[in-house]
Amino acid sequence: MKNGFVKVAAASPVIRVADTDWNAERVIEAIRDADARGVKVLTFPELTLTGCSCYDLFTHRVLLDGAKAALVRVAEATEGMDMLVFVGLPLAVGAKIYNVAAALCGGEILAFVPAEGIADGYFSVPDPESDYEVSLPDYGLVPMSCSVLFEHEALSDLRVAVEVGVGLDRFLTPAARHAEAGATIIAQMASFPETVSSREEAELNLRYESRQFVCGMVLAAPGKGESTTDRVFSGLCAVAEYGKILSLEEQENSLAVSEIDVEHMTARRRALDCFDAPSDYLRFTWGEALAVTALTRRYGMHPHLPESADRLPEYCRRMLDIQVSGLVKRMEYAHLDHCVVGISGGVDSTLAVMVSAMAVKKMRLPSTNVIACTLPCFGTSSRTKSNAIVVAEQIGAEVRVIDIGKAVYQHFDDIGHAHDDYSIAYENAQARERTQVLMDIANKVNGLDVGTEDLSEFIDGWCTYNGDHTSMYDVNLGLTKTQVRANVRYIADTTEDRVLKAALYDVLDCPVTPELLPIHDDQIEQKSEDAVGSYSLQDFFTHKMLICGFTPSKTFRLAKQAYAGEFTDEELVRWLTSYCKRLFSQQFKRSCLMDGPAVEAFTVSPRVGFLIPSDAEAALFLKDLESVSAE
The stretch 130-141 carries a mean pLDDT of: 84
At 55 the pLDDT is 86
Looking at per-residue pLDDT, the higher value among 129 and 104 belongs to 104
Q: Name which of 476, 461, 435, 434 is nearest 595 in CA terms.
A: 476
- pLDDT for 570-597, tens place per residue? 999 999 999 999 999 999 999 999 999 9
Q: Name which of 104, 112, 133, 129 is nearest 281 in CA terms.
A: 129
Residue 471 has pLDDT above 80, yes or no: yes
At 279 the pLDDT is 79
Listing DSSP states for 475-492 in one string gives TTTB--HHHHHHHHHHHH
The stretch 206-222 carries a mean pLDDT of: 95
Residue 100 has pLDDT above 70, yes or no: yes
Identify the burial level of 109 via C-beta atoms within 10 angstroms of its C-beta, where 0-12 means exposed, 13-18 middle and 19 or more buried.
buried
Per-residue buried b or exposed e for 32-61, using 16+ beta carbons within 10 Å of the residue's own CB: ebbbeebbbbbbbbbbbbbbbbbeebbeee
The stretch 207-221 carries a mean pLDDT of: 95
Per-residue buried b or exposed e for 113-146, using 16+ beta carbons within 10 Å of the residue's own CB: bbbbbeeeeebbbbeeeeebebebeeeeebbbbb
| β-strand partners of 99 | 90
At 175 the pLDDT is 84
| β-strand partners of 113 | 101
| β-strand partners of 148 | 282
> Under a CB-based contact definition with an 8 Å cutoff, are residues 81 and 34 in contact?
no
| β-strand partners of 283 | 149
Q: Name which of 406, 401, 398, 367 is nearest 386 in CA terms.
A: 401
Confidence of residue 518 (pLDDT cuts 50, 70, 90): low
Looking at per-residue pLDDT, the higher value among 630 and 558 belongs to 558
Residue 162 has pLDDT above 90, yes or no: yes
At 519 the pLDDT is 47
Per-residue buried b or exposed e for 405-419, using 16+ beta carbons within 10 Å of the residue's own CB: eebbeebbeeeebee
Q: Name which of 459, 467, 469 is nearest 581 in CA terms.
A: 459
| Residues of the chain above pLDDT 90, percent | 73
Confidence of residue 528 (pLDDT cuts 50, 70, 90): low
Identify the burial level of 516 via C-beta atoms within 10 angstroms of its C-beta, where 0-12 means exposed, 13-18 middle and 19 or more buried.
buried
- pLDDT for 231-276, tens place per residue? 889 999 999 999 999 999 999 999 999 999 999 999 999 888 778 7
337: left (phi over 0), alpha (psi -120 to 50) or beta: alpha
The stretch 456-483 carries a mean pLDDT of: 95
Residue 563 has pLDDT above 80, yes or no: yes
- pLDDT for 16-72, tens place per residue? 999 999 999 999 999 999 999 999 999 999 999 999 989 889 899 999 999 999 999
| Of 66-80, 160-174, 202-216, the least confident | 160-174
> Under a CB-based contact definition with an 8 Å cutoff, are residues 515 and 384 in contact?
yes
Q: Phi/psi at 615 (nearest 5 deg)?
A: -125, 25
| Residues of the chain above pLDDT 70, percent | 94
d(CA 38, CA 12): 18
At 520 the pLDDT is 53
CA-angle at 135, arms to 43 and 82, nearest 5°: 35
Q: Phi/psi at 544 (nearest 5 deg)?
A: -75, -40
Identify the burial level of 108 via C-beta atoms within 10 angstroms of its C-beta, where 0-12 means exposed, 13-18 middle and 19 or more buried.
middle
Residue 516 has pLDDT above 60, yes or no: no
Instruction: State the amino acid at position 555 in one-letter form.
Output: T
Residue 527 has pLDDT above 60, yes or no: no
At 533 the pLDDT is 83
* Fold of the domain built from segment(s) 2-286: Nitrilase/N-carbamoyl-D-aminoacid amidohydrolase (3.60.110)
At 170 the pLDDT is 58
Distances (CA, A) of 349 to 59, 80, 124, 353, 462: 74, 62, 67, 6, 15
The stretch 114-140 carries a mean pLDDT of: 81
The stretch 119-147 carries a mean pLDDT of: 84
d(CA 425, CA 134): 79
**Selection from 70-74, 191-195, 232-236, 374-378 with the highest mean pLDDT:** 70-74
Q: Where are the beta strands (DSSP E) in 181-304?
A: 185-190, 216-220, 236-241, 244-250, 254-261, 282-286
Confidence of residue 524 (pLDDT cuts 50, 70, 90): very low
- pLDDT for 304-339, tens place per residue? 999 999 999 999 999 999 999 999 999 999 999 999
d(CA 379, CA 113): 71
d(CA 120, CA 564): 53
d(CA 368, CA 395): 9
Helix (H) or strand (E) holding 199: helix 198-212
At 250 the pLDDT is 95
Identify the burial level of 440 via C-beta atoms within 10 angstroms of its C-beta, where 0-12 means exposed, 13-18 middle and 19 or more buried.
exposed
The stretch 282-296 carries a mean pLDDT of: 85
Secondary structure of residue 8 in the 3-state scheme: strand
CB within 8 Å of 34: residues ≥ 6 apart: 9, 11, 42, 83, 255, 257
> Under a CB-based contact definition with an 8 Å cutoff, are residues 381 and 521 in contact?
no
Distances (CA, A) of 236 to 88, 181, 199, 232, 467: 16, 27, 7, 12, 57
Helix (H) or strand (E) holding 542: none
Whole-number mean pLDDT of the chain?
Answer: 91
Q: Which of these CATH numbers, 1.10.357.10, 3.40.630.30, 1.20.120.1460, 3.40.50.620, describes 311-630?
A: 3.40.50.620
Q: Which long-range contacts (CB under 8 A, 24 or more apart) does 94-101 make?
A: 96/124, 97/58, 97/59, 97/64, 97/122, 97/123, 97/124, 98/123, 98/124, 98/126, 98/144, 99/46, 99/47, 99/123, 99/164, 99/165, 100/144, 100/164, 101/46, 101/162, 101/164, 101/187, 101/189
- Locate the domains of the chain by residue range: 2-286, 311-630
